[in-house]
Amino acid sequence: MNSPLTAPLLQMTLRAEPDIFVLRQRGREVATAVGLEYQDQIRIATALSEVARDLVRAVGGADVAFRAAGVEEGSPVLRVDLAPLRPFGPAGYEPTSGAVARLVDTLDLTPVGGVTVIRMSRRIPAHAEALTPQRLAELRAQLAQSAPASVLDELTSQNEQLIAALDEVRSQRDELAVLNEELEETNRGVLALYNQLSEELEETNRGVVALYAELDEKSAQLKAASESKSRFLANVSHELRAPVTAVIGLARLLADSASDPLTGEQARQVGLIRSSATDLLALVNDLLDLAKAESGRIEPDWTEVDLRVVFGQLRGTLRALATRPGVDLVVEEPPSPATLRSDETLLTRVLRNLLHNGLKFTETGEVRMRADLVDGRWRIVVSDTGAGIAPDQHERIFEEFYQVPGSTSGAGTGTGLGLPYARRLAMLLGGSLGVTSEPGRGSAFTLDLPVDGA
């Protein structure tokens, strides 16, 4: 029942000690022939000689057969069956060296035709030459011809193999030591990095926490300072208003035709007192307004406001101010419907302020106000053809008391409080106030307001 595939590649008998060497040598020969790798050749040969020694001692020897198995299944192995001369005792067979089983893929006892044989196998690598029936026949013929070497030869080659194996073990051990060292080094590095990072993180965290604390403290201080400034301004202006109003009243009385007549010089001086007091009152009033707006004490009175009405009133009241012959005041009619939710008084104040400035700083040309609905918001632009404002001053003019150097000459007096106040009011109304301007080309102040209030 031996087919060309399963027929033994080589058979031999094992009876005495010298046969062990022969078996070892021939085992390696068969292993080489079927394509096992060098290391595997040594492994299976060593396993064979170990088991053979056991068998010679325990049961007087064995009949040995080498086969290629599993070829048809696509997982070829070299299989060696060692059929003992006498049956094993009741304890069965256990290799003397426990390491033998590790040298091969399988090592077990298998019943074959009523006899328990020791069977070992080792996988033939996929890249080995294919074991076709023809190739197997060739191998059988080749193995049948080759004569076993002498015991001495086998011993020599065994020694060489042992030395090679030892060398390999040593070099592997050295490699392992180097690898271990590298691994330890890397571990140390990673650990150091980790420690450094977590230290840095902790440090940063501490810094951030401290920074926040400082920031909180500073903003509390800032709030307190701003509140006391507003309070101070409100109190001072309030206290100043009454005496200044009295000075104006008294000056008016002195200059009145019903009073005692004044000399020309006296009349001029009283006139100066009155105009200075009027300027002072304007400043005090502006301060009071601004302080109120800043302290949040102004509560807008939200109503439906019609821009056409507001524009109409401003057109009327400011016409009186537009006294320069070369300057036109143009208040365009807003597109209809021109309604929004806002506070009419505050809105009028902002626009009057802007128009007033326009008229004040424009020598020739026009001051124009127009309103447009853009993306669901009102955009009211007050533009003029006046002196214009340099870009680096665009934000500064919204600071309290700031006046562009040289801008007020010939433009009459001012307090530098109008724009900061107007911007405050714009914010209270839920909007914003900004400027675009170029020196020599005029300015455009844009008030942006929501349609439905803040």
Return residues touching ligand ADP (CB under 6 A). Answer: 357-358, 361, 384, 386-387, 389, 397, 402-404, 407-408, 414-419, 443
For the four alpha carbons of 126, 124, 32 and 160, in that order, the dihedral sign comes to positive
Q: Minimum Å distance from CB 412 to ligand ADP?
A: 9
Q: Minimum Å distance from CB 346 to ligand ADP?
A: 16
Q: Minimum Å distance from CB 323 to ligand ADP?
A: 16
First to last CA, the chain: 103
Q: Minimum Å distance from CB 241 to ligand ADP?
A: 18
Residue 76 or 418 having the CB closest to ligand ADP: 418
Residue 158 or 415 having the CB closest to ligand ADP: 415
Give dist(CA 117, CA 73) in Å, integer: 23
The CA-atom distances, in angstroms, between 12 and each of 29, 81, 149 are: 13, 11, 14
Q: Minimum Å distance from CB 326 to ligand ADP?
A: 16
CB neighbour class for 114 (10 Å; exposed up to 12, middle 13-18, buried from 19): exposed
Residue 105 or 400 having the CB closest to ligand ADP: 400
For residue 19 the two structure tokens come to: 């046969």
Residue 237 or 415 having the CB closest to ligand ADP: 415
For residue 67 the two structure tokens come to: 């086969």
Biggest distance spanned by C-alpha atoms of the chain: 161
Residue 309 or 404 having the CB closest to ligand ADP: 404
Strands 327-331 and 365-374: parallel
Residue 340 or 417 having the CB closest to ligand ADP: 417
For residue 266 the two structure tokens come to: 């006296």
For residue 251 the two structure tokens come to: 């000056």
Nearest CA to 290 among 401, 398, 424?
424
For residue 23 the two structure tokens come to: 């078996």
Q: Minimum Å distance from CB 408 to ligand ADP?
A: 6
Peptide bond just before 84 cis, omega within 30 deg: no
Q: Minimum Å distance from CB 436 to ligand ADP?
A: 11
For the four alpha carbons of 163, 165, 171 and 174, in that order, the dihedral sign comes to negative
Residue 88 or 402 having the CB closest to ligand ADP: 402
Q: Which residue is nearest to ligand ADP (CB)?
A: 414
Q: Minimum Å distance from CB 322 to ligand ADP?
A: 14
Residue 22 or 350 having the CB closest to ligand ADP: 350
Task: Say how many C-beta atoms besides its own lie within 10 A of residue 273's C-beta.
Answer: 15
